[in-house]
Chain A
Amino acid sequence: MRSDPADYELIAPGNLQAVVALLADEPGKWLPIAGGTDVMVLYAAGKLPARKLVSIWNLPELRSIEISPEEIRIGAGCTYTELHEHEIIAREFPLLASAARWTGGIANQNRGTLGGNIVNASPAADSLPALLVYEADLILVSGRGERRVPYLDFHTGYKKMKLQPDELIRTVCLGRRFSNYLHYARKVGAREAQALSKVCVAALGRLRGSVAGAVIDDVRIALGSVAPVPLRLTELERIAKGKPVEPQLVQLTRKMTRAAIQPIDDIRSTARYRSAVAGNLIAEFLEQLRGSGKTV
């Protein structure tokens, strides 16, 4: 059943302070809407529970990308187009840039925002594994002020997150410390554009030691579409550090990946396929890392 627009209220205060004040006055009563690429889909299907919406699209405070020597601070209202067209993001955070390119088609990339992708909290969101491996921080804003939290444990369950009803994501901060890492991103889906992932992987790694005796110095691996939340494989990472990339390690990582994930059968794929593909992709990443020459 299609929604009747007469049943909905939508206002656009036009600046962040006014939006934050509104959320502070009636926490949980107003649903923020940015580019609408998720909210409007629910609305059109008659499945949007919220009746009062506040537009945060194009708020200048959420639209900037600031660069300092240590980090890059991306306004939560930046679109995917802005992300993948940004020179420094494309160069230093290619996993985020490619995820932005894979998300939807051009029209959706012109409207979908990074903050929206985080709060929509789809386990299949392509940008979230990238934020996990880059260990992004989020700056949350409310009438009570701002707080900075790590993205790592922000999502706590399916569509659940550590965001208070009066809070908005204001900024996504990425530390500029991955220049000598191998950046690996793969999306497996029916097609690259538009189709949601069956499995997606974002991984970072670097080696240390001589070419012959090189071992893994640091490694970070995250997966999407294989659990209720985007998943970082921390146990696997711990085991892999300090080891050479050899067949035994690849074997072990496949086993540990299967144990760590909780894939499901759904419209896009099966649990069995997802599990096999996740293992294959991580094996491929490790093979690439071995031959990458990315050494401390």
Chain B
Amino acid sequence: MSHSSENRGKDDRGKRELSLTVNGKPETLRVFPMERLLDVLRGELGLTGTKEGCGEGECGSCSVLMNGELVNSCLIPALQAAGTNLTTIEGIAEGPQLSALQAAFLECGGAQCGICTPGMILASCHLLNKKPEPTEEDIREGLSGNLCRCTGYRQIFEAVVQAARRRVSA
């Protein structure tokens, strides 16, 4: 998509400064207040691990943690993210080491095409932070806003169970 320079000049006038913390790193950007947080993460910060599925809050592919709460980044205008602390899929690994959740998703076959996987992992992370020893019912409820069209969910639930077991025993 190309804009003429005249258009770009006109467009940029509405931009505002936005400061927030993403995966522990303070960021200051100039964005349109109504830009979707999803687009800011992907387009401005290059964090393309966060996926767009439906773009209307139904599928959970764009899930991130905002101040520790699970949210759909496609439904958040950039301005409302000002001053918040965000965690995206890029902030889940512990350095070069996969987190227990990521490793469990790999081992259990919880990821196939991969579009839902970042959101599934963020939702699982949110669940385990609130309930370190979730029941099957807790897992189903915790992931109920995240749709997967490949795995049939069984492997994903197993991955969460396995990660929970390891985190508790670690």
Contact = CB atoms under 8 A, between A and B. Distances in A.
A194 B148 CA distance: 14
Q: Chain A interface residue count: which class?
A: 20 to 34
B31 to A, nearest CB: 8
A190 to B, nearest CB: 12
Q: Chain B interface residue count: which class?
A: 20 to 34
Interface in B47-65: 55-58, 60, 63
A106 interface: yes
Contacts of A41: 56-57, 75
Nearest to B122: A107
Given A6-B14, A9-B14, A107-B72, A194 B145 contact: yes
A108 interface: yes
B103 interface: no
A192 B11 CA distance: 42
Nearest to B70: A107
B16 to A, nearest CB: 9
Given A40-B75, A111-B71, A106 B57 contact: no
A4 to B, nearest CB: 8
B101 interface: no
Nearest to A10: B33
B141 A193 contact: yes
Contact of B76 (A40, A104, A191): A40
B80 A107 contact: no
B123 interface: yes
A40 B72 CA distance: 11
A36 interface: yes
A194 B69 CA distance: 18
Contacts of B58: 194
Interface string A167-210: 00000000000000000000000011110000000000000000
Interface of B: 10-11, 14, 32-36, 55-58, 60, 63, 69-72, 74-77, 79-80, 82, 123, 126, 141-142, 144-147
11 contacts: A5-B33, A36-B80, A57-B80, A105-B144, A106-B126, A106-B141, A106-B145, A107-B70, A108-B72, A110-B69, A193-B144
Given A11-B33, A44-B74, 13 more contacts: A6-B11, A8-B32, A12-B80, A37-B72, A41-B57, A53-B77, A57-B80, A58-B80, A107-B57, A107-B123, A107-B145, A108-B75, A111-B72
Interface of A: 3, 5-6, 8-12, 33, 35-37, 40-41, 43-45, 53, 55, 57-58, 81, 104-108, 110-111, 191-194
